[in-house]
Structure 1
Amino acid sequence: MELPAGLVWLARSLTLAVATGRADPPFPRSRRLRIPIPAALRLLPFHAVDLVVVANLLVFWLVYGEDLRFLPGDGRLLGYPGWWLSLSALLSSVPVLLREHWPLAAWRISLVGACVIAPIQEILGGAGGMPVPLPAAVPYLLVVYSVAVRCERRITLGVWTVSVLVLLSTPGGFDSITPAAILVAVTALLGYNVRSRRLATLRLAQEERRSEQALAAQATLEERARIARELHDVVAHHMSVIAIQAEAVPLQAAGDVGRLEEGLREIRALSLSAMTEMRRVIGVLRDAEGRVDTAPQPGLGRLDELVGNARSAGLTVALSLSGDLTGLPEAVSLSAYRITQEALSNAMRHAPGSDVSVRISRSGGALNVNVTNDAGRPSPGTAQRTAGPGHGLVGMRERVAMLDGRLWAGPVGTGFAITAILPVVEET
């Protein structure tokens, strides 16, 4: 015959409370409950005074002293030896010192102390109608509170149930047991509420830490993506120019050592420029102390240099600037530069020798970037590159989306066109 589920649950609760239960680790102590000791007065190994520990010591001393005063002066009481009476006083007061680290063990010792001292209370005629003397009741309630704060709900219920059963076994009448049972229940509920509030606070703190970690991870991924875009723009543009010049210079030199050396100097200058920009971007990752390179990012002020590199690679570039391009936000200027750079790199790879039109204008609250190239006229001995899809257009779209702008890219006639509209929001 199976027992009802409620009885099985109650039996497990009693077993946890009396024998097998374990308390949770203590909650972090509030700093307001710790008073630092001045360095000149630090004669002991600790550097602060824990007010809870001091309060426990004070309660222990007062309760133990009151229990001894509660006993007869000759140390004997109707057959009880003096050491038995002193032991009962110790059992009722020592649990206060143990409740911080071992609340369940402290409660079990306090329970034994209550069972030992109850007959003595009856012999003395009771005190205030309580089944145990008041000096023994205070530590017991403190220990029950500690159990309710540090233990799960089943253990707390088991502790209250065992307490009521012990009260029923005491010689006091129902009128004295009922208030005591209610007092223990109120203490347990108070401790349970404190436990629930502290657990909620800990869960909230954990969620905040997880949110901070998620935000940090997201920021790391965004930073990596930004660095990857920068590296792609730098490498793709400069390597395209270098590769085209490496093919074109020997053909253009046609055995002329002077022209060959000049072409090689241009290739070397472009290589050094690419390495400088790559060091600036990668330096953010390599700085062990978290310092950031303060070298300015490229912007529209370096368009002439960019166009010059493209022209040296065989493109015919017509640059048109209109509107007030000074005082642009750094993000807008950098994005416009990178979009132009990527468009020129695409023209070098897919339409070498093409005519390219670069038009950048500012009207109202937007910066318009338009780069158009035709089919190109490859030089003899240079093959038109038809590399697979890369990350250039993806990087453009990400840059434009970051600024809440718009981008169009696609074939126009026999060539290709890219148009970007970047909102200009003044930095504050």
Structure 2
Amino acid sequence: MTPSPARRFLTRRAPRAWETAVRLARPLTEALVTGTPDPARPRSRRLTRRVPRALGLLPFQRIDLVLLADLALTAVLFGGGLSYLQTEAAAARSPLDQEGLMFAALAFSLPLALRGRWPLAAWRSAFLLVPLGTVVSRQFLHEVPYTAAASVTYTLVVYAVAVRCERHITVGVWIFSVLGAWILHPNSMALVTGVVTATVLFGHNVRARRLAAGLLAQEERRSERALAAQAALEERARIARELHDVVAHHMSVIAIQAEAVPMQAAGDARRLEEGLREIRTLSLAAMTEMRRVLGVLREGDGDTDTAPQPGLGRLEELVDTARSAGLDVTLKLLGDLAGLPTAVSLSAYRIAQESLSNAMRHAPGSSVSLKIARYGAELHVQVTNGAGARSATSPRSPEGPGHMGHGLIGMRERVSMLGGRLWVGPTGTGFAVTAILPITEDA
């Protein structure tokens, strides 16, 4: 039997109507029952304070100033609201007892204390408690059923929902708020709708800006990691090119010597021993050149430098240059620094040079402590600078303190070549670089 056109129309339209009803019910259901807010954003240091030592037994170490302000405002609204209700009830000779007035005052203020940690729970409690408190106070508040405490509390919890919840949940909160205002006091519905709408739009705009700022920060971190990886790859490529020249030259000489020595010795053990000793000397020289090539690679133009590489013997000259640039440098040398291997002395010099250069660029006029000490088979290099005495005149670069720029990457590569250890990072208001370089005979 063929169904009638009317039946076919209803059959075809029914699923669409059901889907539409489900889509409309979702915001209301999530706002009132199932919805959850986004995790709270970490507070900036300006909005937190350390717990005083006198309160050191508290289970937390920092005080959230926003939460503290919410609790203080809750107490003020409760006390002020209770006093206002008591005055109005006495003037109207209302039979309402003290417990009823306290319930109304608590209903108008308590949800505010929850909004920082549980914004949806704060709105749900306000959506239930504020109407109940309004019903209680309506007995003697005929013209304006909403007290100032109720208005402030409800506006702030709606704002918290708009900032921390998805858009459809915020839409559900707006719908319930408008319907509740229409049921409680139709005459003031237009005013309530305007205030709630403005609050929702403002909170949603703040949320959108925060999300955009978060995405931008993530993208900047990805870019920094990509730039650091690219810088490391470029550095390795330059090192590979220079090492190829050094290794090719020395290995060629060693190969020729290894082939010629047995022929020249002709069975003479003494001459054979001298030839092998010369080959060993060439091998050690090749290893030294492979490490010295780092000093060549750090030159701005990348040209090969044939002059002797600097070392700790030129440290006073480096410090004088930094002092002439405005830094207050304190130099402290401990232990026997004479006779250090060339590569170790060069690396220590370059680390100190790069650290002082960073202090010049990013903390001009600051106090810098430069300490180089030898402890047994280790050389310790520590450079610490404080906050700048004036603003930096050069643009901030990725090599600045706290960033993995070319300078810090170069330090890591240099220390890694010697098998040492390096720590870099902020300390107090300044920046610190600490390197430990092993001292070996073949360094």
Q: Same fold (TM over 0.5)?
A: yes
Per-residue deviation at 1:161?
0.5
> CA separation in 2, counterparts of 1:6 and 1:145?
28
- Structure 1 residue 48, shift from structure 2 partner: 5.4
Counterpart in the other structure of 2:33: 19
- 1:123 equivalent in alignment to 2:139: yes
Residue 230 of structure 2 aligns with which residue? 218
1:259 deviates by: 4.8
TM-superposed CA distance for 1:70, in Å, is 4.0
Q: Which of 302, 307, 324 does residue 331 from structure 1 map onto?
A: 302
Letter in 2 for 1:122: R
Q: Per-residue displacement from partner, 1:74-106 (whole Å, max 9, x unpaired)?
A: 899978665344333222211111100000000
Considering only CA atoms, is the larger Rg found in Structure 1 or Structure 2? 1
Equivalent AA in structure 2 for residue 163 of structure 1: S
1:192 to 194, 200, 204: 204
Shift of 1:108: 0.4
**Equivalent runs, 1:19-418 vs 2, <5 Å:** 19-35=33-49, 42=55, 45=58, 49-72=63-86, 82-127=98-143, 129=144, 131-170=145-184, 172-173=185-186, 175-255=187-267, 259-278=271-290, 297=296, 331-334=302-305
CA shift at 1:153, angstroms? 0.7
Q: 1:255 to 1:65 in 2, by over 3 A?
A: closer
Residues 317-340 of structure 1: CA distance to partner in whole angstroms, max 9, x if unpaired?
xxxxxxxxxxx97721259xxxxx
Q: Tell me how far apart the structure 2 counterparts of residues 134 and 36 of structure 1 sit (CA, whole Å).
A: 34
CA distance in 2, matches of 1:69, 1:329: 75
Give the C-alpha shift of residue 268 in structure 1.
2.3
Quote how far apart the aligned CAs of 1:201 are.
Answer: 1.4
Relative to structure 1, is the Cα distance of residues 44 and 188 closer, same or farther in structure 2, using a 3 angstrom cutoff? farther
Residue 277 (structure 1) shift: 2.9
Summarize the Cα distance change of 1:43–1:237 in structure 2 as closer, same or farther, 3 Å threshold: closer
Check 1:163–1:260 CA distance in 2 against 1; reply closer, same or farther (3 A cut).
same
Q: Unpaired runs of 5+ in structure 2?
A: 1-13, 307-443
Give yes or no for contact 2:86–2:101 (8 Å, CA) kept in 1.
Answer: no
The alpha-carbon distance between structure 1 residues 70 and 266, as it changes in their structure 2 partners (threshold 3 A), is same
- Call closer, same or farther: CA 1:269–1:72 in 2, change over 3 Å: closer
Question: Secondary structure at 1:29's aligned position in 2?
Answer: coil
2:399 corresponds to: none
Aligned-residue RMSD, C-alpha = 3.4
Shift of 1:60: 0.9
The offset of 1:181, in angstroms, is 1.3
Once the two structures are superposed, residues 36-56 of structure 1 have per-residue CA deviations (whole angstroms, 9 ceiling, x without a partner) of 5665x6566366554322321
TM-score (norm 2): 0.57
SS of 1:124's partner is coil
| C-alpha contact (below 8 Å) 1:250/1:260 kept by paired residues | yes
State the 1:278 CA deviation: 4.1
Q: Are the aligned partners of 1:126 and 1:133 in contact in 2 as well (CA < 8 Å)?
A: no
Query: Residue 240 of structure 1 aligns to which amino acid in structure 2?
Result: S
**TM-score, normalised on structure 1?**
0.59
Q: Which residue of 2 aligns with 1:342?
A: none
Deviation of the 1:247 alpha carbon: 1.8
What is the CA distance between 1:248 and its match in structure 2? 2.5
Question: Does structure 2 conserve the Cα–Cα contact (< 8 Å) formed by 1:17 and 1:159?
Answer: yes
